[in-house]
Amino acid sequence: MKDYIEKRAIMLALYIIEHNTTVRAAAKKFGYSKSSVHKDVTARLKDIDPLLANDVKIILDTNKAERHIRGGLATKMKYEQKRSIS
């Protein structure tokens, strides 16, 4: 694997862990696609640093379990704003 891809995967994983953030937020921060970030921190990172990959997996699993709640809150806020404007 290319050296820069390995460094990118580690950098993204450390960012996700330190900031307890989502793949989407990490992709936006560094200017990569969500697909690339996801591939880096799930598939590629297992071969590079399995312990770091496990730490990221815990955060991603938590995010996946909570995403329906965040989506519901975003929808609630959207309609509350529309209601306050009217």
pLDDT band of 56, cuts 50, 70, 90: very high
Number of domains in the chain: 1
- Whether 40 contacts 9, CB under 8 Å: yes
pLDDT band of 52, cuts 50, 70, 90: very high
Q: Report the alpha-carbon distance of residue 15 to residue 33 in Å, rounded.
A: 15
Quick: pLDDT tens for 1-50. 689 999 999 999 999 999 999 999 999 999 999 999 999 999 999 999 99
Q: Report the alpha-carbon distance of residue 50 to residue 58 in Å, rounded.
A: 13
Range of the structural domain that residue 20 is part of: 3-85
* Nearest of 32, 37, 34 to residue 13 by alpha carbon: 37
Note the helical H segments in the chain.
3-19, 23-30, 34-39, 45-48, 50-85
Report the pLDDT value the prediction gives residue 1, as an integer from 0 to 100.
67
